[in-house]
Structure 1
Amino acid sequence: MRVEVKFHLAKEILLPYDLSYYISGYIYRCIKQAAPELSEWLHNTGLKYKGRRYKPFVFSRCNFASRVNLDSVMKVKGTLSFQIDSIMPEIVHRFVEGAWANGHLDLFEFKFPLQETCFLPPVSFSETMVYKALSPIVIPIQKNNQIVFSHPLDSRFYDSMRNSLKNWYYLRWQEEFPEGEEIHIQLYRPEKFQLGKAAVLTRFKDKNIKGYLVPLEVEAPVKMQQVIYEAGIGSYGSQGFGMVEALKEHSCNGEGDCLKRKSTSC
């Protein structure tokens, strides 16, 4: 269950490029506003599987109606929007409730009024899907007792991705991924891929995280395709990485269930 939220920017302002840490905090605050116990569980416990904890939500990078990239900041105006999804619909519903209760997004010294929340139309899943990354796909792997970030030209990028998706499959459906089924993942239109252009280095709190904005073609059972859409691909989904959308599917365009503020003060 995916929702897109939009905020009003009354004037042109300067913002840093890396906003994921602040948006993550905002999401937790909104959920806490509507359901304190759910927020505490999500932050401190989450879902457990094979000795690991999972925070079941994923969100996209921020989009702006107008954006000009400068050396160290971006100049933006108009609207700020992002999407959030989860394998647990209650998380998305409580986030929306809390967002309207809060009424605005605080970023640094700025306060952006909430303009609209829109539940996006359901996606028609098939066994072959093409996905566009809405936030960088991150694949951390162990190398010489250190964490390094794999890239799309390394086979481990896809091996780790498949293993992670199988874990999320269990968390979503409460059953193991069928042994006789396979997950084939490859770059979509690989002849157009350029490693340097696809790479994105993001500062999240005190960490530098390297991910890749790449389109992927996935052949897998329909139930796995739904997991990919709801949980994202790769690691650190709850920190704003790995969210994807199905190509040829559209964002809020009047077909979804949208709620707008009747008037927005500047």
Structure 2
Amino acid sequence: MKLTITFSVNDNALKLPLNYQQMLQGFIYRNLLDPDFSRFLHNHGFLNGKRIFKLFVFSQLFGKYSLLKETKEIVFEGPVTWHVGSIVLEFIKGFGRSLLTSEHLELNGQEMKVEEVTYRQDIPESEKCRIRMLSPITVYSTYQNQNGKKITQYFDPEDPAFTYLVEENLKKKYAAFYQKDTQNLFFKIQPVRVKEKDKRITRYKGFIINGWGGIYDIEGSPNLLSFAESTGLGSKNSQGFGMFEVIHQQP
């Protein structure tokens, strides 16, 4: 399920650093109604073996904006739209209710006013969909080199490992939530319109993360597609990566 939130700020100008994902993530944790559930998500999450998944995802911010290159900031002018998704109903209901009932909401020290919150659930009706990324999809593998140093390798959408790792990640998240075997489920992703300008390089807590926007075709088991629509594709979903919208369903 997804929330679409429209908000404004004083003087119709919201100033943020270019890499604002961590601020949005912190905003979510602060504004979940149940503090115990917020701590559970932040500190524990859903387990699959040694892997921990938060099972929520959010988009970048959308609206009219200008860039301040000298200070590496972005200034949104007027209303801003934001999408947040999760398969966890408690998360969606609690966050949505908090936004609608809180008397004071703040982002980067600036007071926000929520104009509208809408709930939506896009359940794919076919096994093939065309999607547009609302936040970059990031796919990577971590290993140790011969000197024992940990290396992170990011994969672009044309790499054969890309679709394999997206599928494996999605199945692990599905198994963590439903505690079900995913052997009979399948998923594929294929880039349709992904250009070099769609590459997004983000700094998050001092680390560089490579991700990709663009348009893709996905195909898979309906249950897995529906799950992906709520939780995102690829890695680091709860840090603001991998959210998409369905723009066309193929019969």
TM-score by length of 2: 0.88
Partner of 1:201: 201
- Give the aligned residue type for 1:152: P
User: 1:67 pairs with 65, 68, 79, which one?
Assistant: 65
**What is the aligned partner in structure 2 of residue 218 from structure 1?**
218
Structure 1: how far apart are the matches of 2:208 and 2:113? 30
Q: State the 1:121 CA deviation.
A: 4.8
Q: Deviations over 1:137-157 (max 9, x none)?
A: 011212534112111121111
Aligned to 1:185: 189
Distance 1:92 1:184 in 2: 27
Q: Name whichever of 223-232 and 200-209 sits farther off.
A: 200-209
Say if 2:131 and 2:248, in contact at 8 Å, map to a contact too.
Answer: no
* Cα RMSD, aligned residues only: 1.9
After superposition, give the CA deviation of every residue in 1:122-172 in whole Å (9 maximum; x if it has no partner).
434310011111101011212534112111121111111111011122234
SS in 2 for 1:63: coil
Q: State the distance in 1 between where 2:104 and 2:115 align.
A: 9
Q: One-letter code of the match for 2:119?
A: F
| Aligned ranges 1:76-225 → 2 under 5 Å | 76-143=76-143, 144=145, 145-179=150-184, 181-188=185-192, 192-194=193-195, 196-225=196-225
Distance 2:121 2:219 in 1: 22
Counterparts of 2:99 and 2:14 in 1: how far apart (Å)? 22
Equivalent residue number for residue 56 of structure 1: 55
Instruction: Provide structure 2 residue ranges, at least 5 long, that are not aligned to the other structure.
Output: none
How far is 1:13 from its partner?
5.0
Query: Which amino acid is 1:173 matched to?
Result: Y
| 1:126 and 1:225 in contact (8 A); partners too | no
Query: Number of residue pairs matched?
Result: 241
Identity %: 26
Q: What one-letter code is carried by the residue in structure 2 that aligns with 1:137?
A: I
Unaligned segments of structure 1, at least 5 residues: 250-266
The AA in structure 1 aligned to 2:85 is: D
Superposition TM-score, scaled by structure 1 size:
0.84
- Any conservation in 2 of the 1:200–1:213 contact (CA below 8 Å)? yes
CA deviation map 1:221-253 (0-9, x unaligned): 11011111011000111111101111149xxxx
1:93 Cα deviation from its structure 2 partner: 0.6
Q: Which moved more, 1:116-125 or 1:51-60?
A: 116-125
Worse-superposed segment, 36-45 or 102-111: 102-111
Contact 2:124–2:225 (CA under 8 A) maintained in structure 1 = no
Paired position in structure 1 for 2:23: 22
**Which amino acid in structure 2 is aligned with residue 4 of structure 1?**
T
Asked whether the 8 Å contact 1:185–1:217 carries over to 2, the reply is yes
Question: CA, structure 1 residues 12+28, in 2 after alignment: closer, same or farther (shift >3 Å)?
Answer: closer
The corresponding residue for 1:263 is none
Q: 1:218 to 1:115 in 2, by over 3 A?
A: same
Q: CA separation in 2, counterparts of 1:13 and 1:55?
A: 28
Do the aligned partners of 1:7 and 1:105 also contact (CA within 8 Å) in 2?
no
